Amino acid sequence: MQQLQTLDYIVFFFYFILVSGYGYWIYQRKKTPNESTQDFFLAEGSLTWWAIGASLIASNISAEQFIGMSGNGFSMGLGISTYEWMAAATLIIVAVFFMPIYLKNKIYTMPQFLSQRYNPTVSLIMAVFWLALYILVNLTSILYLGALAVSGISGLDFTFCMIALAVFAIIITIGGMKVIGFTDVIQVFFLVIGGLATTYLAINLVSGDTGIDGLMSGMKMMRENHDDHFHMIFPKSSPFYMQLPGLTVLLGGMWIVNLNYWGCNQYITQRALGADLKTARNGILFAAGLKLLMPVIVVLPGIAAYALYSKGLFQAEMLGPDGMINPDKAYPVLLNLLPTGLKGLSFAALTAAVVASLAGKANSISTIFTLDIFRNYIGKDADEKKLVWIGRWVVVIAMVLAIVVSPYMGIDKKGGFQFIQEMTGLLSPGIFASFIMGFFWKRTNSAGALFAIVGGFIIALGMHNNYLPFADWTQVPFLDRMGLVFLICVAVMFILGLVLPDEKKGLQIDASMFMPHRSFVIWASIVIAIIAFLYYHFW
C-alpha cells in the first residue's frame, strides 16, 4: 500500500499555506486596537450567512464522521446517514424557533442562558459538565481518530500526528472566531471537493471502470450485491437495531440528539450568536443544505470499502490489533488506494475537517471557561484584554489535556462515532429538557432545571451501566433510553413547576419573531421535501 508521494505533499502544503495565510490576512484586516471578548469569541457582526453555514459544517464534520461514520457505512450501511439527514431537518427548527429566543434575549453563551433563565448555580454546574464533555469526549475523539487516519495515510508516527493536528488547530483558534469562521469556508471547500473526489474514485474502483459510466455501474453493483447496506430503518431482527432502533430515528430519541446538539450547544450556536436574525437563519439553512450532501462524502465511501473488501481486497489492512475487523480503518485504507495527487487532496479534506472541528471546539471551551467561570468567579475585575489573553491560554491547555488523556478513553473499543454519541447521550436528555422547558413554559424553575441536568445525568448513567431496576437496560437501545430519560426530566420539571413558587423568570418572546422570511420558507420546504424523498426511497 503506497504512502503519500511528492505530488500529494505539494497539494497538502498548498492547502496548509492557503488556510494559514488567509487566516492571518483575516486577523490583520479585521483586528481592532482594543480587542473585546465579543470580537474574539463571537466575531460580533463580522460573519456573513455563507461563513456561518460553512463554519457550522466545518465544525461539525470531523474525524468522527470521516473515520467513524465511514466505518459505520462499512458495517451497517446507509442507515447511519440518519444522523446527517435528520440534522438537516433539525437545523430548520433551530433557525425558526431557537435563534430568535437567543438573539432577542442577548444570549451569547449557553451557561449564560441558564443563569439568566434559572440561576448561577445551574449555570455553573452545566458549564463544568460542558467543559468535561468537550475536552474528555469531543476533543479527545477528534484528535485520536484524526491522528489515526493521518498516521495511517502518511505513515508518520501516531503521537506526532496528534500533536501536529493540535498545533495547527491552536494557530487558527487563537485568532478568534473571525479567523475560525472565515477560514472554515476554505476548510469546507477542501472537505467537499476532496470528499466528493474520494467517493467518485471509490465507486469507480468497485465497478472497475472510470468516469460517469464507472460511477453509475459502481452504484448499481453496490445496490444489487449489498442491498442490506441501503436501508434507513432497521427492524428489531437487525444486528444494528441497538444503535438505530427502527422508527426511533424519525419519531424518538434522534430528535433529542439533534435538537440538543444543534440548538443547545455552545460549540454550534456560537457561530450564529454574533449575527442578526436574518443572517443567522440564512447561515443555518445553508448548513442544512450542506448536511444533505454529507452522507455522499462520508458514508458512501464506507459502503464502497465494504464492497471492495467483499471482493477480497485489503483483508489484512482492515484488521485491528486484536485480529478482528476494525471498521474505523475503512476510510484510511480507501484513501491509500487513490492515485497520487488525488490522495493529497483527500488527505487535505480529512485534515481540514479535523482541524476545523478542533478549532471550533477549543474556541467554545475557551468561551465557556473565560466568560462563564473565570469572569464570574475568579477574575471579576479582569478587563477585556486580560479575558482575551485567558481565552487564548485556555485553548492551549485544553488541547494539551486532550492529547494526554485521549489514549485512555477507550475510543477504539466501540467505534469513534458511536463512542461520541453514547457519551454525549448521558447529558443530552437533561440539557435539552432544561432548555426546551425554559423556552416555552414560564413556570419552569431552577429546581426543575437542576434535577434535569444532574438527575437526568445520574439516571442516564445508571441505565448505561445497568444499575437501575425494572429492566435489563443494556438491552434497551441508547436512543430509546435517551427518550425515556427526557420524558422523566420533563415530568419532574412540570411537577416542580406546579408545586413550587413561580420564579417569574420567563424570556422575552413574541409570536412575530418566529415568522421567517419568504425565501427562507421556500428553501426550507425544498430541504424537507428532499429528506422525505430520501427516507421514502431508502426505507
SS3 209: coil
Question: Given a cut of 80, is residue 242 above it in pLDDT?
Answer: yes
As a whole number of angstroms, the distance between CA 19 and CA 69 comes to 26
pLDDT (tens digit per residue) in 357-378: 888 788 889 888 998 889 888 8
Residues 6+ apart with CB under 8 A from 468: 459, 462
Q: Is the pLDDT of residue 523 over 90?
A: yes
pLDDT for residue 447:
94
pLDDT score at 533: 96
How many other C-beta atoms lie within 10 A of the C-beta of residue 328? 31
Across the chain, what does the average pLDDT equal?
85
Is residue 432 over pLDDT 90? yes
Q: Is the pLDDT of residue 491 over 90?
A: yes
Is pLDDT above 60 for 340?
A: yes
pTM for this entry: 0.84
* pLDDT the model gives residue 1: 47
User: For residue 349, is pLDDT > 60?
Assistant: yes
User: Residue 413 above 50 pLDDT?
Assistant: yes
Return the pLDDT at 459: 94
| Percent above pLDDT 70 for the chain | 93
Question: Has residue 337 got a pLDDT over 80?
Answer: no
Please, which pLDDT band fits residue 411 given cuts at 50, 70 and 90?
A: low
Comparing 211-215, 253-257, 533-537, the range with the smallest average pLDDT is 211-215
Q: What is the pLDDT of residues 29-66, one digit of tens each?
A: 766 666 666 666 665 556 788 888 887 887 777 767 77
Q: Mind listing the pLDDT tens digit for each residue in 52-109?
A: 888 788 777 776 777 778 888 998 999 999 999 999 999 999 999 989 988 888 887 7
Give the class (CATH, top level) of 6-25+48-412.
Answer: mainly alpha
Going from the C-alpha of 309 to that of each of 75, 228, 280, 438, the distances in angstroms are: 11, 15, 43, 50
What integer pLDDT is reported at residue 426 of this predicted model? 86
> According to the model, what pLDDT value does residue 233 have?
93
Least confident interval from 5-14, 87-96, 251-260, 328-337 = 328-337
What span, in angstroms and rounded, lies between the C-alpha atoms of 447 and 269? 25
- In angstroms, the CA 46 to CA 183 distance is 13
Phi, psi of 491 (to 5 degrees): -60, -45
Cα(88)–Cα(84) distance, integer angstroms: 7
DSSP-derived secondary structure letter, 538: T
For residues 76 and 258, give the distance between their C-alpha atoms in angstroms, rounded to a whole number: 21
* Angle (nearest 5°) at CA 23 between 17 and 25: 100
What local confidence, expressed as pLDDT, does residue 379 receive? 82
Q: Residue 44: its pLDDT value, please?
A: 57
Rounded to whole angstroms, the Cα distance separating 361 from 368 reads 11
Helix (H, G, I), strand (E, B) or coil at 206: helix
pLDDT of residue 525: 96
Can you give the pLDDT at residue 163?
92
**Closest C-alpha among 3, 144, 66 to residue 331:** 66
Cα separation of 496 and 502, whole Å?
10
Find the range with the poorest average confidence among 77-81, 322-326, 469-473: 322-326
Q: For the segment 146-197, what is each residue's pLDDT rounded down to a tens digit?
A: 887 788 777 788 889 899 999 988 887 877 767 776 777 777 787 788 788 8
- At residue 319, φ and ψ (nearest 5 deg) are -85, 140
Q: Name which of 95, 73, 74 is nearest 84 in CA terms.
A: 73
